[in-house]
């Protein structure tokens, strides 16, 4: 959403969504001589002022920009309540750690959870790959390939030069159990080795940033 806080506070283009540049037919009082115009006084406009988008072909009145921004903000809140993407499912294979806590949704090395004291579940010995986290992008965004889902495999620091960040496309039921429903939080994923479903909160910050960027691109969120 726009970070505008002055003339364009709460404004966005109804067509392309940008909020940086518009052309507005405004009023002012100019000093005029036979030579032309000189200094002008305050510039003013009302909600019915003719307005053009600085990026696309849209033309309308200034008041439309605020209505558009409200709609965009509503859509953004629906797709990302509290800034957390709604249509993603996330998996972690533990990166070689030996135990998993189903309550805290974290892989750990000790046998009892440091968070809640629960006895941890052992993890298959050959689990843990360099693309430890998998983010599956679900939902009906525009341009989604029918029958497929997009996903990204990431290491803990995907934006690091030696980090791993791989985009892929799988069958749309790649992370669904036998009944065809997605596995629940803490449950093992049907793909990979030792992958468990976790929540967005459990992702490392760097992975969160990458996943948010993907999500905003797919849903065309400004």
Element (H, E) at 213: helix 205-219
Is-contact 43 81, C-beta < 8 A?
no
Smallest distance from Zn ion to CB 11, Å: 11
Instruction: Using the rule CB under 5 A, give the single segment among 14-22, 41-49, 173-181, 203-211 that binds Zn ion.
Output: 14-22
Q: Does 53 bind Zn ion (CB under 5 A)?
A: yes
Residues 55-114 that bind Zn ion (CB under 5 A): 55-56, 58, 101, 103-104, 113
Is-contact 109 99, C-beta < 8 A?
yes
Comparing CB distances to Zn ion, the nearer of 40 and 103 is 103
192: CB partners within 8 A, 6+ apart: 91, 93, 127, 129, 134
Binding residues for Zn ion, rule CB under 5 A, total 14
Smallest distance from Zn ion to CB 24, Å: 14
Query: Which tokens in the block code for residue 207?
Result: 């992975």
Q: How far is CA 22 from CA 10, 55, 59, in A?
A: 13, 8, 10
Q: Does 13 bind Zn ion (CB under 5 A)?
A: yes
Return the residue matching tokens 């909600």.
Answer: 47
Comparing CB distances to Zn ion, the nearer of 23 and 148 is 23
Query: Which tokens in the block code for residue 72?
Result: 């965009």
Comparing CB distances to Zn ion, the nearer of 116 and 166 is 116
Query: Which tokens in the block code for residue 110?
Result: 């000790």
Q: How many Cβ atoms sit within 10 Å of the Cβ of residue 39?
A: 8
Comparing CB distances to Zn ion, the nearer of 119 and 140 is 119
Element (H, E) at 70: helix 62-79
Comparing CB distances to Zn ion, the nearer of 18 and 138 is 18
Q: Does 176 bind Zn ion (CB under 5 A)?
A: no
Smallest distance from Zn ion to CB 114, Å: 7
Binding stretches for Zn ion (CB under 5 A)? 13, 15-16, 53, 55-56, 58, 101, 103-104, 113, 115-116, 118
């Amino acid at each position: 959403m726009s970070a505008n806080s002055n003339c364009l506070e709460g404004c966005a283009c109804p067509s392309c969504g940008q909020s940086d540049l518009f052309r507005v037919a405004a009023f002012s009082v100019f000093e005029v001589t036979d030579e032309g115009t000189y200094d002008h006084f305050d510039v003013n406009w009302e909600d019915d002022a003719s307005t053009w988008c600085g990026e696309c072909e849209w033309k309308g009145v200034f008041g439309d920009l605020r209505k558009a921004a409200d709609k965009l903000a509503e859509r953004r809140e629906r797709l990302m309540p509290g800034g957390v993407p709604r249509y993603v499912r996330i998996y972690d294979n533990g990166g070689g750690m030996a135990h998993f806590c189903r309550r805290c949704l974290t892989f750990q090395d000790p046998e009892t959870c440091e968070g809640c004291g629960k006895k941890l579940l052992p993890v298959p010995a050959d689990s843990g790959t360099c693309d430890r986290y998998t983010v599956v992008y679900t939902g009906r965004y525009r341009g989604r390939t029918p029958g497929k889902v997009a996903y990204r495999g990431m290491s803990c620091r995907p934006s690091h030069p030696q980090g791993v960040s791989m985009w892929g496309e799988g069958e749309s039921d790649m992370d669904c159990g036998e009944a065809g429903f997605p596995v629940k939080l803490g449950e093992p994923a049907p793909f990979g080795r030792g992958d468990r479903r976790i929540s967005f909160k459990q992702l490392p910050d760097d992975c969160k940033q990458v996943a948010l960027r993907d999500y905003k691109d797919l849903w065309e969120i400004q």
